[in-house]
Structure formats: C-alpha cells, structure tokens
Structure 1
C-alpha cells in the first residue's frame, strides 16, 4: 500500500464562489502513479468546503443564488458582534452546516470514480480570500 499527499492552493475572488478543482485533482492522481485505492479531499477551513455537483453555468448561478438566499449575509448574527478575526462571516459558518469539509472517492485504473455529470468543487463561503487550501490524500496500489 502506498500513499501520496499534496496540498492544492487556491485564491478566491467572490464572497461566495464555486471553483471547479476536478482537473487539478485528476492531474495529481495521475502524477501519484496510484491505480486503485481511495482519494480523500479535505478543506481545513470552517467557511469553505468540498462538494460534488454538476458543472453547468446556469446551475452554478442557481446554486450561488440559493446559498445567498438561504442565509442572508445582512442579518444580525451574534457571531458578527464578537468575531475573532473581525470578519462578518456568521452566514458562512451557518451555510457550512449544510456542507461537508471532505469527500472520499474511489480510484480505479488510475482514475477518480466520478459520475458522468459530477465535478469536484471548492465552495468558498467567506471570500475573497488570498490563501485557501484543499488537502489531497491518496492511498492505494500502483
């Protein structure tokens, strides 16, 4: 059994943003030389997440609008009055209740096992941010 670990660095530009990281993750899987096993992705942030969904521009616009409407940024949240980093980001933490910080995907024949329409997204809920990360851990056989 072999392992491979790498960190993907990202810069976000919008308050709420969906960044398709599928190609970057597939490239790192290919570079690892692993053929069969598991790929685990994790966002080490409390206001940014990993999500599998369809990459289609109108759907992505719908997703952004849904998130903005679900937990409006403008509400009076207690966390915003005492935020340790000075960011009014309670809405981002609350949206995170509906998301996962990690995803584990199978590897088969050197490829990620994804559905026809699935892409891997980094979901920023508290941007813009100059430095975000996704950790990739691969375990398997070459």
Structure 2
C-alpha cells in the first residue's frame, strides 16, 4: 500500500545548517501503522538535501567546517555575477553536487531500520529560509 506524499515544513536559520529530523520523521511514520515497507524522503530543492549520518556535536561542527572550506561562499562564481533569483548561491549548488535529494529507509516490525549511529538530517546550503519542504512517502503493509 502506498500513501500520499506528506510535506514536512522546515525553517532554517543559518547559511549552512544541519538539522536532525530523525524524531520528526519517526513520529510522523508511526501514524501510518506500517509493519513492513519503506519510507522515502525527498527534498524538492536544488540547495537543500537529506542525508543519513552520525549525530555527534563535534562531528557536526567538523561537517560544517568542511562544507565552508570545500566551496567558499565568497569565491568568484559565474552564477553569482547575474543571479536569476537574486541569491549569491553558486557555492550552495556546487556543494549539492556531493549530496543526495532523497533517502529510502527500510521498515521492519514497525520500525525504521536506521543503523545504530544513523540519524536523518536535512542539510540547508542556502539559508536562512522561512520555508523548506521535505516530502515523505510511506509504503508497505499494515
């Protein structure tokens, strides 16, 4: 059984931000009563993504530092010379080349099968933004 896509609305507060959405996704998922199946998460943005990784404060700071160093926002990018939406966000699009817009998480015995160290993160690369959306679709057997 497939359920309709559900929107998860998020607000971001920093230019680059890592938001732990694990509890939010688990809470929403529980409402479906799925025993076996999967949850698909999809970011319909070109500068915001979803990933699985470890939630550890020092590692998260390392991740942010890495992203800032990898593609500095103040570099001279052609996209920023005449931005179509007024945002100087070429660095955000370039960082997005290394990320994925979706994740599929298996479900067994009514639980998301995340690894022991895995959390679900929404990664903002072009914030802050008043509204970002993450689409969630649940499928499986009740």
Q: What band does the TM-score fall into relative to the shorter chain?
A: over 0.9
Q: If the length of structure 1 is used for normalisation, what is the TM-score?
A: 0.98
- Cα deviation, 1:83-142, whole Å, max 9, x if unaligned, reads 111000000000000000000010111111000000000000000000001100011000
* Aligned equivalent of 1:115: 115
Contact 1:52 1:119 in 2 (8 A): yes
Correspondence for 1:6: 6
Give the number of equivalent residue pairs. Answer: 142
Answer yes or no: is 1:64 the counterpart of 2:64: yes
2:87 — aligned with what? 87
> How big is the shift at 1:82?
2.0
Measure, in 2, the Cα distance between the counterparts of 1:59 and 1:120.
14
**Counterparts of residues 1-142 of structure 1 (less than 5 Å):** 1-142=1-142
| 2:3 counterpart SS class | strand
What root-mean-square deviation, in Å, do the aligned CA atoms of Structure 1 and Structure 2 show?
0.8
Question: Structure 1: which 5+ runs fail to align?
Answer: none
CA–CA separation in structure 2 for the residues paired with 1:23 and 1:4: 20
- Does the 8 Å CA contact 1:4/1:32 hold for their aligned counterparts? no
* Ranges in structure 2 where 5+ consecutive residues have no aligned partner: none
Q: How far does residue 72 in structure 1 lie from its aligned partner after superposition?
A: 0.3
**Cα distance between partner residues in 1 of 2:35 and 2:74:** 47
Change (3 A) 1:4 1:36: farther
Per the normalisation by structure 2, the TM-score is: 0.98
C-alpha separation in 2, matches of 1:41 and 1:5: 9
Residue 2 of structure 1 and its aligned partner are, at CA, apart by 4.0
